[in-house]
Amino acid sequence: MPETLSLSRRRFLQTTGTAAALAAAPAVLRGAEVQDAPVRVGFIGTGVRGWSLVREMAASKLAQVVAVCDVYKPHVDRAVQAARNDDVRTYLDYRDLLADKNVEAVCIGTPDHWHEPMVLDAAAAGKPVYCEKGLTSSVESAKRMRDAVKKAGIVFQLGHQGRQFAASEAAGEMIRGGEIGPVTLIKTGRYFNGTRERAPWRWYGWYSEYTRPDPREVIANLDWERWLGPAPKIDFDEEHFWHWRCYWAYGTGQAGDLLSHELDQVQATLGWGIPDTCMCLGHNAYYHDGREVPDTWLANYTFEKRHCSVMFEGCMNSHRQQPPEYVGKSGRVIFNSIGQAASRFSVYDDGPAFPHMRNKPLEPRSTYDPAAGPQWPSHVNDFLQCVRTGEQPRCHIDEAFIEAVTYLMSFVSYREQRLVRWDAEKEQLV
């Protein structure tokens, strides 16, 4: 191990809270006081998504940020600044944060390879969990997480922001009502058009931030061994640290990061559960930059009993987006944005096959107005409210399991170069 890393760890431990330094928990609240009190949240992982969630919950009247944990000191420092709490505690080891009696609930925003052990430990500690997607990297892992959450009886929310919009539910009711006829095809997709110098997933600490930090300063402030955790042990690699989405050891590429949002939007709209089959192809078509995961990801799912296919197109060589589109016999429902931002939709009658055959642009038959529909809490406020009431949030553990199996079908299909089928009785991919 490089000496600079060993020295960094000692300096970090000297300035980071530990379980031995815990202060006494505040007096127990009762009755209405509990319902009205902000949820005291601890954050595990304060990188890109984790930092965003710290800021979002710090701005909510329903939460108080009381603790943050990360193995990279600059991420801890910026989370402390965002916490809006002068008494926020800092931790290096997430288990110390879980042992903090002042922490009521935890938010996990780490790379995906850490999700399972952290969720299992949080469940064992009886702490409600908000966990970022994708949930995990195998069906067996998803089962263990589901079982632990249910055994502990804790509130669990998976981080799919699209669940905060009522538009998906409204569209589902309309589709089930037959307004566009039988739906046999659903189209989704994600696109990104960068350059080889400003490539997707190659940013540093925040989306589209391409200023490279000095690697010597990074390693001086990072506990690399703790960051690796259950992943294969390798020497410090700055690309693996900053660009972990590009490597199989830490996630599932476009499957868990992008496809999961889009297929979760389909689930939020139709509630059909896990598809029956999936065939996925992928390759690196443009970004020949050492990444292991493909920049092109093409997945085709079937819901056999529903007589419907779902297509996901993942392309990192175009700005054009493919918002969720539901194709019926007599019309189409087309949303306004990608899965996690799909807040409205328009309904179109079936029209001419080619644009030059139209006398005028095709106009929507109707458009869903979010202001006229029910007003739901934000995704994080949904979680926080449920921590207080004990109710199920919108993306609870059973929905998280559906999300995980669905994107893992494409992951396994690509890795094993075959069609995969979901055996619902055995809960296995076959």
**pLDDT digits 0-9 by tens, 247-282:** 999 999 999 999 999 999 999 999 999 999 999 999
User: Which pLDDT tens digits describe the chain residue by residue (430 residues)?
Assistant: 333 223 233 333 333 333 333 333 333 444 445 568 999 999 999 999 999 999 999 999 999 999 999 999 999 999 999 999 999 999 999 999 999 999 999 999 999 999 999 999 999 999 999 999 999 999 999 999 999 999 999 999 999 999 999 999 999 999 999 999 999 999 999 999 999 999 999 999 999 899 999 999 999 999 999 999 999 999 999 999 999 999 999 999 999 999 999 999 999 999 999 999 999 999 999 999 999 999 999 999 999 999 999 999 999 999 888 999 999 999 999 999 999 999 999 999 997 766 555 666 678 999 999 999 999 999 999 999 999 999 999 999 999 999 999 999 999 999 999 999 999 999 999 9
Count of CB atoms within 10 A of residue 174's CB? 18
In this prediction, residue 360 carries a pLDDT of 66
What contacts 2, CB < 8 A, 6 or more positions away?
219, 236
Task: Show the domains of the chain with their CATH numbers.
Answer: 3-163 (3.40.50.720), 164-197+251-374+397-429 (3.30.360.10)
Please, what is the end-to-end C-alpha distance for the chain in angstroms? Answer: 42
Euclidean distance between CA atoms 228 and 256, whole angstroms: 19
In this prediction, residue 33 carries a pLDDT of 55
Distances (CA, A) of 337 to 27, 180, 319, 378: 46, 20, 13, 17
Backbone conformation region of residue 131, classed left if phi is above 0, alpha if psi is from -120 to 50, else beta: beta
Is 70:45 a contact under the CB 8 Å cutoff?
A: yes
Give the model confidence (pLDDT) of 215-249 as tens digits.
999 999 999 999 999 999 999 999 999 999 999 99
Phi first, then psi: what are they for 190, rounded to 5°? -140, 135
In this prediction, residue 107 carries a pLDDT of 98
In this prediction, residue 363 carries a pLDDT of 87
Is 263:188 a contact under the CB 8 Å cutoff?
A: yes
In this prediction, residue 31 carries a pLDDT of 47
In this prediction, residue 337 carries a pLDDT of 96
In this prediction, residue 357 carries a pLDDT of 58
Chain-centroid distance, C-alpha 91? 23
Give the model confidence (pLDDT) of 107-127 as tens digits.
999 999 999 999 999 999 999
Global pTM?
0.90
In this prediction, residue 93 carries a pLDDT of 98
Sort strands 428-429 and 420-423 into parallel, antiparallel or unpaired: antiparallel
Phi first, then psi: what are they for 282, rounded to 5°? -160, 160
In this prediction, residue 169 carries a pLDDT of 97
Distances (CA, A) of 268 to 193, 260, 318, 406: 28, 12, 27, 13
In this prediction, residue 100 carries a pLDDT of 98
